[in-house]
Amino acid sequence: MKRVLLAAALAVACTSTPAPAPSPAPAKTPVLTPAPPLSSTETAMRDAVSNHYSEAVSLLQRSVDIQSQTLDLKGVKRLADLYANEFRALGFDVSWVPLPDSLHRAGHLVAVHKGTVGPRILLIGHLDTVFEGEGLGWSVTADTIGHGAGSSDMKGGDVAMLLALRALADAGQLKDMSIIAVMTGDEESAGHPLSVARAALLDAARQSDLALAFEGGSRTQVSPGRRGASGWELTVTARQAHSAGIFGRGTGYGASYEGVRILDEWRRRMAGERGLTFNIGVLGGGVHATYDTTGWALAVDGKSNAVPPIFTAKGDLRFLTEQQKDSARARMRAVLETPLEGATPKVEFEDSYPAMPVTPEGMRLVSIFDEASRSLGYPAVTAQDPQSRGAGDISFVAPFIPGIDGLGVMGGGAHSPRETVNLPSLKMQAERAAVMMSRLRTEWQR
- Distance, in Å, from the CA atom of 100 to the CA atom of 102, rounded to the nearest integer, reads 5
Residue ranges, CATH 3.40.630.10, the chain: 40-226+357-443
Going by DSSP bridges, is the β-strand pair 310-319/277-286 parallel, antiparallel, or unpaired?
antiparallel
Distance of CA 391 to the CA centre of its chain: 3
Task: Report yes or no: 253 and 237 within 8 Å, Cβ to Cβ.
Answer: no
* Tens digit of pLDDT at every position of the chain (446 positions): 433 333 333 232 333 334 444 444 554 545 568 899 999 999 999 999 999 999 999 999 999 999 999 999 999 999 999 999 999 999 999 999 999 999 999 999 999 999 999 999 999 999 999 988 777 899 999 889 999 999 999 999 999 999 999 999 999 999 999 999 999 999 998 999 999 999 999 999 999 999 999 999 999 999 999 999 999 999 999 999 999 999 998 899 999 999 999 999 999 999 999 999 999 999 999 999 999 988 889 999 999 999 999 999 999 999 999 999 999 999 999 999 999 999 999 999 999 889 999 999 999 999 999 999 999 999 999 999 998 877 789 999 999 999 999 999 999 998 888 999 999 999 999 999 999 999 999 999 88
Q: Tens digits of per-residue pLDDT, 110-161?
A: 999 999 999 999 999 999 999 887 778 999 998 899 999 999 999 999 999 9
Distance, in Å, from the CA atom of 429 to the CA atom of 182, rounded to the nearest integer, reads 18
DSSP 155-213: HHHHHHHHHHHHHHHHTT-GGGEEEEEEEES-SSS--SSHHHHTHHHHHHHHT-SEEEE
pLDDT at 28: 52
- Cβ neighbors of 47 (< 8 A, separation 6 or more) are none
Half-sphere exposure of 387 (CA within 13 A, CB side): 17
**What sign has the CA pseudo-torsion 36, 439, 184, 323?**
negative
Calpha distance 204→112 (Å, rounded)? 9
One-letter amino acid at 21 equals A
Locate CATH 3.30.70.360 in the chain: 3-24+227-353
DSSP state letter for 144: T
Cis geometry, peptide bond prior to residue 154 (ω within 30 degrees of 0): yes
- Determine the angle formed by the axes of helices 40-51 and 53-64, rounding to 10 degrees: 50
328: Cβ contacts below 8 Å, ≥ 6 apart: 20, 270, 276, 278, 317, 319
pLDDT number for residue 372: 98
Q: 3-24+227-353, which class in CATH?
A: alpha beta
Class of domain 40-226+357-443: alpha beta
- Strand ranges inside 88-157, DSSP E: 93-98, 107-113, 117-126, 139-141, 145-147
Q: What span, in angstroms and rounded, lies between the C-alpha atoms of 209 and 231?
A: 30
